[in-house]
Amino acid sequence: METLLKISNLSGGYGKITVIKDVSLKINKGDFMGLIGPNGCGKTTLLRLLSKIIKAQNGVVNLEGKDITKMGLKEFCKKAAFVQQDTLINFPFTVFEIVQMGRIPHLKRLQQETKKDLDIVNNALEMTDTLSLKDKFVNELSAGERQRVIIAKALAQEPSLLFLDEPTSHLDIGHQVQILDLLSKLNKQNNLTILIVIHDLNLASEYCNRMALFNEGGIFKEGLPKDVLTYQNIEAVYKTIVVVNDNPISAKPHVILVAGRPACRQAGE
């Protein structure tokens, strides 16, 4: 498979604090890769390193074969888009105006949008089922609608790679499935490569074709969901007793929490 993003011996964090420690990972074109792990293990920091928000302390990240540190911000944003966990919009922009901002990397300074740009914006609205909302103000939207709009803005960048940091947080199960169904459709129909931080292990299992389980700033296990979501791996990282069965519908791993049990199994269990 063609490698789209190659992470080699990457370390980084905030100031003198190292959060991500010597991480190496390949993201293939067309992957729907899930990053899972306990709070504070470095998942969000990794996305910030990969999206040029913070600089790496060591290591190399290549996107389509090019070191991202040698790419200008506009060039990078034509290839990759980042949907952050909490996107604050403090001004009364309309939905159309928000999505239109996704075209900024493709425009020269002071250049007006062309018909092609506006067509791309409308197409992003259609793909995310938000075209009917285009004249509404963002602060009038529900949480699920607003999340779809932010994804539409990212799609308007026409990226080949989409980073998402917990896009289903604060959403009910119906809206979570709606967002993940949308991402799955874009992944399959548009060949959009996705790297997503997600906490719900069962949703990750259902939607991701590959997963990386993080622990203490490094990758504990990477591979297919069935290889990553074993009770041994989950208990070792999350310190919680679980049972892992196959989902009777999809045959994907399904994690069941065992409440009221000690954090490690007794000998012989």
DSSP code string of 31-82: -EEEEE-STTSSHHHHHHHHTTSS--SEEEEEETTEEGGGS-HHHHHHHEEE
What per-residue confidence (pLDDT) applies to 110? 78
Which residues make Cβ contacts (< 8 Å) with residue 179, sequence separation at least 6? 144, 147, 148, 151, 167, 168, 171
Strand order in the sheet with 58-63: 17-28, 3-14, 58-63, 66-67
- Token reading at 220: 């504990």
Residue type, 92: P
Phi, psi of 166 (to 5 degrees): 50, 60
**Cα separations (Å) of 137 from 23, 87, 142, 149, 233?**
41, 15, 11, 11, 45
Q: pTM, whole model, 2 decimals?
A: 0.91
164, with CB counted inside 10 A (0-12, 13-18, 19+), is buried
Query: What is the spatial distance between Cα 14 and Cα 57, in angstroms, rounded to a whole number?
Result: 9
Question: Residue 170: its pLDDT value, please?
Answer: 79
User: Which residue, 221, 162, 158, 232, is CA-closest to 197?
Assistant: 162
- In this prediction, residue 261 carries a pLDDT of 64
Burial class (CB in 10 A: 0-12, 13-18, 19+), 28: middle
- CA gap 29, 161 in Å, rounded: 8
Report phi then psi at 9, rounded to 5.
Answer: 50, 45
Correct CATH for 3-224 of 3.40.190.10, 3.40.50.300, 1.10.3080.10, 3.30.1280.10: 3.40.50.300
- The residues that bridge with 62 in the sheet, in sequence order, are 6, 67
Domain extents in the chain = 3-224
Going residue by residue through the chain (269 aa), what tens digit of pLDDT does each one get?
Answer: 899 999 999 999 999 899 999 999 999 999 999 999 999 999 999 999 999 999 999 999 999 999 999 999 999 999 999 998 766 677 789 999 999 999 999 998 878 889 999 999 999 999 999 999 999 999 898 888 888 999 999 999 999 999 999 998 878 898 899 899 999 999 999 999 999 999 999 999 999 999 999 999 999 999 999 999 999 999 999 999 999 999 999 999 999 999 876 555 544 44
Please give the pLDDT value at position 78: 94
pLDDT attached to residue 184 = 96
Count CB-CB contacts under 10 A for residue 46: 26
pLDDT at position 267, please?
A: 40
Q: What is the pLDDT of residue 236?
A: 96
pLDDT at 239: 93
